[in-house]
Amino acid sequence: FQLSYSDKDRYEREERPDAQKQILVDIAKSLPIFTRATSGAIRFCDRCQVLKPDRSHHCSVCETCVLKMDHHCPWVNNCVGFSNYKFFLLFLSYSMVYCVFISASVFRFFINFWVGDLPNGPAKFHVLFLMFVALMFLVSLMFLLGYHCWLVVQNRSTLEAFSAPVFTTGPDRNGFNVGVRRNLQQVFGDNKRLWFLPLCTR
């Protein structure tokens, strides 16, 4: 998807925007590119100097184009996309299980706190802190994971959910939707037994 030396030279020498677009169209003919910019032009990243593969976007934080970019996640300080989407979803699921475990194991002491059975001291603060933080994260993760499950089933990235990908025939929200089963397989792999394990199964 990178321009060859001669193509790059030809592209940079050309001053007319229309002719530049045509150069990209010619190069894209030999590539598996099916999406277009909203204007109908071939998607090109000026910063990376590449023709953008379908579903990829440039991340200004990572300073590179990311395949099937979903979003840049400040929590994991990385982009979530083609190479790590499964691991991101598992991260959310495992975190949720952890929050459930924490709130369940603190629940007994939380009740003790309310009926006044807990001795004075730092334990009170610890119990309250654990309970509220675990519940707060549990609720936020539930919404986030729920939203992402919906995206996986529809075969959409967060970016595509906000603005539909544009094909040669026009914008199509369901352009990548190949049925629930195959949408799930694209993210989690063919072997169902490995879906919930942190292994690369695509």
Give me 51's structure tokens: 């023709």
**Contact flag: residue 45 with Zn ion (CB under 5 A):** yes
Rounded Cα distance, 33 and 168, in Å:
10
Subset of 72-131 contacting Zn ion (CB under 5 A)? 72, 79
Q: Is 37 in the site for Zn ion (CB under 5 A)?
A: no
Q: Which is nearer to Zn ion, 138 or 144 (CB)?
A: 144
- What is the bridge-based pairing of β-strands 166-167 and 170-171? antiparallel
Residues numbered 53 to 72 that lie near Zn ion (CB under 5 A) are 58-59, 61-62, 65, 72
Nearer to Zn ion, 47 or 192 (CB): 47
Cβ 59 to Zn ion shortest distance, Å: 3
d(CA 18, CA 22): 6
Annotation marks residue 45 as catalytic: no
Is there a contact between 164 and 62 (Cβ–Cβ < 8 Å)?
A: no
CB 9: neighbour CB atoms within 10 A? 11
**Bridge pairing between strands 170-171 and 50-51:** unpaired
User: Which residue, 28 or 48, has its beta carbon nearer to Zn ion?
Assistant: 48
Applying CB under 5 A, the residues found at the interface with Zn ion are 45, 47-48, 58-59, 61-62, 65, 72, 79
Catalytic residue positions, numbered: 73
